[in-house]
């Protein structure tokens, strides 16, 4: 017992150090003999030698060929910034070509140089006509519209509201969707659309360089307290050089009072497609909490399915800003009169330089490439050294 506890004597320490040194030398010798072994093998087997030399060359040539094929594929006009001829001479040959957002599709616009991105009115996400909330067996609230409206594609779009003070919440929510008045300046149509609440059922996109709702000539829904026939129309319009075809359709926006947030939550969830039941979608839910004329605090419940947060793709920009602006605007108008408003004029993307799709295989493969070429050809031998 006593001897074990004593610190190691000088002799023991020196002994251990010596063994370590011997072991190190042995290792070096093995490494050297390994090297001579390789050279011996190389002398013996010149065919293998040539193979070893040409393997990296072949791999490199293959990579270059593959990369060029992929790059020439990506360089096709389909993926390049869209262009058009803006000036032709008498013989019909093009004198001046112009490229830019206005000639591009959603795929092409990624590559354009855009020093001054176009601006778009902020939209809200409106459920498609066939999935808007109606009375169903699982949701027997009697203020929901009759299911027959789905056949005529005329279902109103509903917003659920709740709060501490029912009278106040309903009064404010009454102004959520301002009426479109013909006196609005319709020379700039996009500007007129940003003064009211307008929505779309297209999937939102990752950038706002082009707003899919406008560039796809899909329907644009004008949310109104009451629909009049002249509001639904098709307009061809150029917004700062970008030709647009606006298919405008009026949709009645209705507010439905619910007792509490949990009732709203449950109702939103029950109509969810993934739940397997009947699809019943709402625009959003507003919880006015304890909002009074002295203080505004609101929870907005919205559908975030479209943001695509799967870690495998870009995250889409959900159409939420207008939902927030609509309610703050309604509140301000309610407590201060119709002349007061806070406008969300437009949303737009940051400017960007022109880019092109490029594919760099070797940098993509970097570590793997090195492993293949260097390490598999010149194996690193692992040695163990046991100190007896």
**Would you tell me which residues interact with ligand NAG (CB under 6 A)?**
89-91, 185, 187-188, 268, 271-273, 279, 281, 303, 305-306
Compare residues 283 and 298 and give the one whose CB is closer to ligand NAG. 283
Compare residues 306 and 372 and give the one whose CB is closer to ligand NAG. 306
Question: Minimum Å distance from CB 238 to ligand NAG?
Answer: 12
- DSSP string across 10-56: HHHHHHHHHHHHHHHHHHHHHHHHHHHHHHHHHHH-HHHHHHHHHHH
Compare residues 152 and 187 and give the one whose CB is closer to ligand NAG. 187
Question: Minimum Å distance from CB 64 to ligand NAG?
Answer: 41
Question: Minimum Å distance from CB 337 to ligand NAG?
Answer: 21
Question: Minimum Å distance from CB 303 to ligand NAG?
Answer: 4
Question: Minimum Å distance from CB 199 to ligand NAG?
Answer: 13
> How many H helices and E strands in the chain?
9, 12
Running DSSP on this structure, what letter comes out for residue 286?
E
Compare residues 192 and 296 and give the one whose CB is closer to ligand NAG. 192
Q: What distance in Å separates the CA atoms of residue 372 and residue 362, rounded to the nearest whole number?
A: 12
Q: Are 374 and 149 in contact (CB under 8 A)?
A: no
Report CA Rg, the chain. Answer: 35
Compare residues 89 and 146 and give the one whose CB is closer to ligand NAG. 89
Compare residues 92 and 229 and give the one whose CB is closer to ligand NAG. 92
Question: Minimum Å distance from CB 102 to ligand NAG?
Answer: 18
Q: What distance in Å separates the CA atoms of residue 346 and residue 294, rounded to the nearest whole number?
A: 28
Q: Are 48 and 39 in contact (CB under 8 A)?
A: no
- DSSP string across 210-244: S-HHHHTT-EEEEEESS--GGG-EEEEEEETTEEE
């Amino acid at each position: 017992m006593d001897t074990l506890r004593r610190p190691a004597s000088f002799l023991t320490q020196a002994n251990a150090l010596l063994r370590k040194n011997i072991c190190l030398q042995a290792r070096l010798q093995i490494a050297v003999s390994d090297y001579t072994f390789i050279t011996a093998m190389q002398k013996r087997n010149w065919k293998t030698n040539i193979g070893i030399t040409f393997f990296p060359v072949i791999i490199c040539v293959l990579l270059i060929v593959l990369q060029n094929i992929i790059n020439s594929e990506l360089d096709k006009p389909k993926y390049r910034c869209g262009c058009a001829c803006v000036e032709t001479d008498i013989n019909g040959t093009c004198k001046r070509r112009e490229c830019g957002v206005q000639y591009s599709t959603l795929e092409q616009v990624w590559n354009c140089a855009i020093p001054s991105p176009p601006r778009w009115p902020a939209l809200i996400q409106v459920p498609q006509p066939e999935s808007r909330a109606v009375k169903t067996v699982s949701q027997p609230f009697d203020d929901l519209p009759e299911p027959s409206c789905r056949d005529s594609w005329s279902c109103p779009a509903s917003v659920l509201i709740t709060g501490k003070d029912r009278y106040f919440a309903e009064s404010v929510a009454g102004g959520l969707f301002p009426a479109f008045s013909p006196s609005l300046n319709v020379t700039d149509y996009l500007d007129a659309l940003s003064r009211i609440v307008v929505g779309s059922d297209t999937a939102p996109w990752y950038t706002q360089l082009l707003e899919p709702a406008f560039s796809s000539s899909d329907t644009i829904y004008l949310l109104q307290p009451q629909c009049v026939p002249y509001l639904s129309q098709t307009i061809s319009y150029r917004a700062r050089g970008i030709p647009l075809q606006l298919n405008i359709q009026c949709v009645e926006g209705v507010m439905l009072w619910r007792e509490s947030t949990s009732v709203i939550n449950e109702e939103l969830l029950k109509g969810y497609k993934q739940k397997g039941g009947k699809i019943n979608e709402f625009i959003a839910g507003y919880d006015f909490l304890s909002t009074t004329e002295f203080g505004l605090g609101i929870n907005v419940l919205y559908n975030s399915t479209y943001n695509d947060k799967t870690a495998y793709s870009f995250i889409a920009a959900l159409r939420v800003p207008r939902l927030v602006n609509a309610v703050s605007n309604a509140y301000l108008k309610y407590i201060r009169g119709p002349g007061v408003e806070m406008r969300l004029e437009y949303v737009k993307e940051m400017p960007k330089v022109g880019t092109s799709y490029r594919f760099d295989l070797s940098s993509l493969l970097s570590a793997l490439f090195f492993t293949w070429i260097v390490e598999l050809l010149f194996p690193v031998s692992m040695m163990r050294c046991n100190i007896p």
